[in-house]
Amino acid sequence: MESGESEVSEAAVTADPARLVGEAGLTGDWRWLSSAAEMAAEVSGVWPLMPRSGARRCPGYPRVATRTPGGGAESVRVARDFARATLRRWDVGDRSPDIVVVVSELLTNALRYTLPCPGAAWPRWPVRLGLLQPGPWVLCAVSDPSDEVPLLREPGWFGESGRGLHVVASLCDEWGCTAPGPRGKVVWAMFATSGPR
């Protein structure tokens, strides 16, 4: 798949909603989202993919949409358009604007800190964007090959950067970052929606 090409898959996983990896019949490479979804489930305690006694399953979920943006100047705009169109298709109107802003912030950070300087080799693993809707929540995740974990810092009074994670934290219900591994890390944010209950 070439850089910037979209790989979109909407999958219905109803047999065992606690399983995110290895479901038969799913298209596209979305398994990288599983670590972020598992972490979000632990942090929130309300994630629908957590196995709970008496938990209602949402037929037709989770829905998954992924994209591998390029490194060009248009990447963030294209990712915002992709997120906006996906959320419209999923009928997630109530939190759509917040999710689109968070997609923009997370992707901007990933591209800023992982794209090589001119003349340097490109990272082995691409930056990827994923949206996952397992029920009345939407998980937004961006993976990148860097092992640098994002931290909330107080930006300088006149600084032109350093506010992205503050924006993310103010717009989402929970956010976090998986531990860096051989393919980098996944920064994620989750949003409660008025989706299926």
CA atoms 75, 125, 98, 150: torsion sign:
negative
Q: Would 181 be classed as within a structural domain?
A: yes
Assess contact for 28 and 8: CB atoms under 8 A: yes
Residue 141 falls inside a structural domain? yes
Taking each helix axis as running N to C, give the angle between helix 164-171 and helix 96-114, from 0 to 180 degrees, rounded to the nearest 10.
Answer: 150
| 35: enclosing H helix or E strand | helix 34-44
What CATH number does residue 35 fall under? 3.30.565.10
Specify the pLDDT at position 61: 65
Residue 83 lies in a domain: yes
Which domain, by its residues, includes 96?
6-10+30-48+58-115+125-150+162-192
Total domains in the chain come to 1
- Report for 64-68, 96-100, 117-121: range of highest mean pLDDT: 96-100
Q: What is the pLDDT of residues 30-85, one digit of tens each?
A: 678 888 888 888 888 765 554 444 445 555 667 899 998 887 778 999 999 999 99
Contact assessment for residue 122 and residue 68, using Cβ atoms and an 8 Å cutoff: no
Cβ neighbours of residue 119 under 8 Å, at least 6 residues apart? Answer: none
Q: What is the CA radius of gyration of the chain?
A: 16
Burial of 12: CB neighbours in 10 Å, binned 0-12, 13-18, 19+ = middle
Residue 25 forms part of a structural domain:
no
